Chain A
Amino acid sequence: MDFKGSDTIPGPRAEDQLPHTAQSAAKIVIVGGFGVGKTTMVGSVSEITPLTTEETMTQAGIGVDDNFGSASKTATTVAMDFGRISITDQLVLYLFGTPGQQRFWFLWNGLFEGALGAVVLVDTRRLEVSFDVMGRLEERGVPFVVAVNSFPDAPRYDLEELRTALDLTPDIPIMECDVRRRASSRDVLMTLMRFLHSLAMTGSLT
């Protein structure tokens, strides 16, 4: 990396700076398959233009004779878009749009472990793409809600039919959304927060 031009590294615009009173931040993860609308959702509610953080993953080659060093490894860059919502002068909420494949998750320390909860975005044209991610969240005890992003040519199912197909427990919220609309994305986030609140009330979160 060439840092000779460090003076010119563009930072946040003046109006995008957090106040000095900002004490702590929390995060929410939006997870789903490629093209399901994660970046669109982040962008529709974020107060800043979505940014991207990257991580490099060295993928070991397939096979047993792998100990020849870098020759058998390839580096893959994984990107994650994120946005930000200032909640109060002290509290900031970050939203991360994360690829559905679990092998990417541990690249970012505590991404799921530390998140307040997750939104699983699904596309009914490729419902099965989200099966694994939901299972992983269940295994890790990460609370999530399901949001069905409605694409025009996608098959239409009734939400109860989808709940059955996705084998969701009755308490897990499932809703339709159009993440291009800020109000709709906000409703999804509100539903997640209400769900987390209900879990905090009953103490059923382990």
Chain B
Amino acid sequence: MTPPQRQRRDPTPESPPPQEGEGKVRNPERMYVVAGPDGERAELDLVTLIVARAEDPPPSASPEQAALLRLCAAPLSVAELSAYLHLPFSAMGVLLTELLTAELVQARAPIVRQSRTDRSLLEAVMNGLQRL
């Protein structure tokens, strides 16, 4: 028996935008959160780590905000927050923008793939996996 045959594809110069009608995220503009001391907009990633700045949520916090602040007493990824809060990923942007603006949480930027991924990072990951 012979397996079915695939044909390799070439990299496209620019990744094509999703096709019309393929599906749309609600409020994609809210996928950005204010981060960093200069208040610049940073892309909210699934693995951006969020940490509460204070031990207890302020009395002014909404129940939703208070729930999030309690969850990230220790660093927690946006993906984990989304899972524990049962909120879609796109809703996290809204919530986190408010909390970042109010300086109630801190965001720690993820490591993303670059044209040349840092070899020492890859070596650290390999060492970590070895210990599994």
Contacts and interface: CB of A to CB of B under 8 A. Distances in A.
Interface string B110-121: 111101111101
B15 A139 contact: yes
A9 B11 contact: no
Interface string A13-52: 0000111101111110000000000000000010000011
B6 A134 contact: yes
B89 A55 contact: yes
Most chain A Cβ neighbours within 10 Å, of B25, B51, B115, B127: B25
Nearest to B84: A11
Interface in A116-163: 116-117, 124, 127-128, 131, 134-136, 138-142, 155, 157, 161-162
Nearest to A201: B119
A114 B110 contact: yes
A24 B49 contact: yes
Most chain B Cβ neighbours within 10 Å, of A22, A76, A157: A22
A85 interface: yes
A182 B126 CA distance: 15
A93 interface: yes
B6 A165 contact: yes
Nearest to A50: B83
Contacts of A57: 23-25
B94 interface: no
Contacts of B12: 139-140
Chain A's interface size range is 35 or more
Nearest to A115: B113
A68 interface: no
A206 B114 CA distance: 9
A6 interface: yes
Interface in A150-203: 155, 157, 161-162, 165-169, 182, 186, 189-190, 193-194, 196-197, 199-201, 203
Contacts of A4: 63
Contact of A55 (B75, B90, B122, B126): B90
A100 B90 CA distance: 20
A54 B46 contact: no
A107 B75 contact: no
Contacts of B48: 25
12 contacts: A22-B108, A26-B111, A27-B110, A53-B46, A53-B83, A66-B21, A87-B124, A116-B111, A127-B3, A140-B12, A165-B3, A193-B126
The 6 A-B pairs with the shortest beta carbon distances in the complex, nearest first, are: A87-B128, A6-B67, A114-B112, A51-B83, A3-B63, A25-B47
